[in-house]
């Protein structure tokens, strides 16, 4: 039987040629084949992507690249293979069991930066924090702020604590195992949340469906189960002058808007860079 995986590069084969072949192979499983190839090659070289592109293209391709490429061809996400993902201004450790940070979620941080222009939130709450994605990005943006991340996943807690240590935020960020904001007291200047919002029967790419945690993706028949819980909790959580930024699916703005306004909150919808509804902003 002929293997679908690439054969090891010949002795002395260069990085450029290996990247070109990998890009062709990855086009069958990825929308960003060249980027994926570069990230995997940089990881195999023990370099950053920038270092790869600036100084390492004429190196010999490392043998380790073959195994990394094989994993990606089997639909494993690049972030799980390399163990890291950049988000906003920080780099986060991630792996199986936690949701991979996505650029679209930066829309929530952008909305918060706009809301707090000229001032800074002192207290931040991140509901469903996962590896700490939104909370730690916000704490990096506002160095004097402190925050709490809540998640029901022990695996999320493991990665959260790794990232807090790596970013030197031990005195500013803490984690709590919990079910959304149940049992959480007090108010927060900024509430962030990227809840599960995929409908149970919705199809997903293989790399998401087969590798990322279903509990962080699916939210009942209409994808709104967790919004219903969060909406009922928000009014008591947002401090005067504060805001909540909540990620939504591209077709959910109207439904989530209705859930939040029914709780007496003022609501706006913000779009991502692709022009899709991505975030609802709620204020008292």
pLDDT tens for each residue of 237-281 = 999 999 999 999 999 999 999 999 999 999 999 999 999 999 999
Considering the domain architecture, whether residues 31 and 157 belong to the same structural domain is answered as no
**CA–CA distance, 152 with 178 (Å, rounded to integer):** 5
What integer pLDDT is reported at residue 4 of this predicted model?
46
Segment 118-134 mean pLDDT: 97
Q: Note whether residue 6 is domain-resident.
A: no
* pLDDT mean across residues, the chain: 95
Residue 13: pLDDT over 90: no
Considering the domain architecture, whether residues 149 and 45 belong to the same structural domain is answered as no
Q: Note whether residue 9 is domain-resident.
A: no
Identify the sign of the CA torsion 113, 227, 207, 43.
positive
Considering the domain architecture, whether residues 137 and 22 belong to the same structural domain is answered as no
Considering the domain architecture, whether residues 204 and 278 belong to the same structural domain is answered as yes
Residue 150: pLDDT over 90: yes
Considering the domain architecture, whether residues 37 and 141 belong to the same structural domain is answered as no
Which residue range(s) make up the domain with 46? 15-74
| Phi/psi of residue 149, nearest 5 degrees | -110, 135
Per-residue tokens: 116: 């707090």
Considering the domain architecture, whether residues 59 and 139 belong to the same structural domain is answered as no
Q: Note whether residue 240 is domain-resident.
A: yes
Segment 21-45 mean pLDDT: 97
**CA–CA distance, 91 with 132 (Å, rounded to integer):** 11
Residue 2: pLDDT over 90: no
Q: Are 242 and 188 in contact (CB under 8 A)?
A: yes
What integer pLDDT is reported at residue 32 of this predicted model?
97
Considering the domain architecture, whether residues 54 and 169 belong to the same structural domain is answered as no
CATH number of the domain to which 271 belongs: 3.40.50.150
When comparing pLDDT for 179 and 2, which is higher? 179
Choose the final residue of a domain: 74, 101, 121: 74
Residue 7: pLDDT over 90: no
Q: Note whether residue 2 is domain-resident.
A: no
Q: How far apart are the first and last CA of the chain?
A: 64
Residue 3: pLDDT over 50: no
Q: Note whether residue 79 is domain-resident.
A: no
pLDDT in tens, 51-63: 999 999 999 999 9
Q: Note whether residue 189 is domain-resident.
A: yes
The total number of structural domains that make up the chain: 2
Considering the domain architecture, whether residues 110 and 37 belong to the same structural domain is answered as no
What integer pLDDT is reported at residue 238 of this predicted model?
98
Residue 87: pLDDT over 80: yes
Considering the domain architecture, whether residues 164 and 262 belong to the same structural domain is answered as yes
Do β-strands 266-271 and 277-283 pair in parallel, antiparallel, or remain unpaired?
antiparallel
What integer pLDDT is reported at residue 11 of this predicted model?
37
Considering the domain architecture, whether residues 111 and 58 belong to the same structural domain is answered as no
Q: Note whether residue 154 is domain-resident.
A: yes
Q: Cα–Cα distances in Å, from 114 out to 102, 107, 108, 133, 194?
A: 20, 11, 10, 19, 19
3-state SS, 255-284, equals HHHHHHHCCCCEEEEEECCCCCEEEEEEEC
Q: Note whether residue 5 is domain-resident.
A: no
Choose the final residue of a domain: 74, 107, 142: 74
Residue 1: pLDDT over 80: no
Q: Read off the pTM.
A: 0.93
Considering the domain architecture, whether residues 223 and 105 belong to the same structural domain is answered as yes
Residue 9: pLDDT over 60: no
Considering the domain architecture, whether residues 260 and 123 belong to the same structural domain is answered as yes
């Amino acid at each position: 039987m002929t293997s679908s995986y690439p054969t090891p590069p010949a002795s002395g084969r260069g990085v450029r040629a290996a990247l070109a072949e990998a890009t062709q192979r990855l086009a069958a499983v990825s929308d960003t084949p060249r980027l994926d190839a570069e990230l995997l090659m940089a990881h195999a070289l023990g370099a950053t992507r920038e270092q790869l592109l600036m100084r390492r293209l004429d190196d010999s391709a490392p043998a380790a690249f073959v195994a990394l490429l094989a994993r990606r061809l089997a639909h494993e996400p690049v972030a799980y293979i390399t163990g890291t993902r950049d988000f906003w201004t920080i780099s986060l450790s991630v792996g199986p069991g936690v949701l991979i940070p996505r650029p679209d979620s930066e829309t929530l941080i952008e909305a918060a930066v706009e809301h707090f222009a000229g001032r800074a939130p002192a207290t931040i709450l991140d509901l469903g924090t996962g590896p700490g994605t939104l909370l730690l990005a916000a704490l990096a943006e506002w160095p004097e702020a402190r925050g709490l991340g809540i998640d029901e996943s022990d695996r999320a807690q493991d990665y959260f604590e790794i990232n807090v240590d790596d970013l030197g935020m031990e005195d500013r960020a803490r984690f709590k195992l919990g079910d959304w904001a149940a049992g959480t007291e007090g108010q927060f200047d900024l509430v962030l949340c990227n809840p599960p919002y995929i409908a149970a029967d919705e199809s997903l790419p293989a790399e998401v469906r087969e590798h990322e945690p279903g509990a962080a993706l699916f939210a009942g028949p209409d994808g709104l189960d967790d919004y219903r819980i969060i909406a009922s909790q928000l009014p008591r959580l947002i401090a005067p002058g504060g805001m909540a930024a909540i990620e939504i699916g591209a077709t959910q703005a109207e439904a989530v808007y209705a859930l939040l306004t029914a709780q007496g909150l003022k609501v706006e919808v913000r779009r991502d860079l692709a022009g899709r509804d991505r975030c609802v902003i709620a204020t008292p």
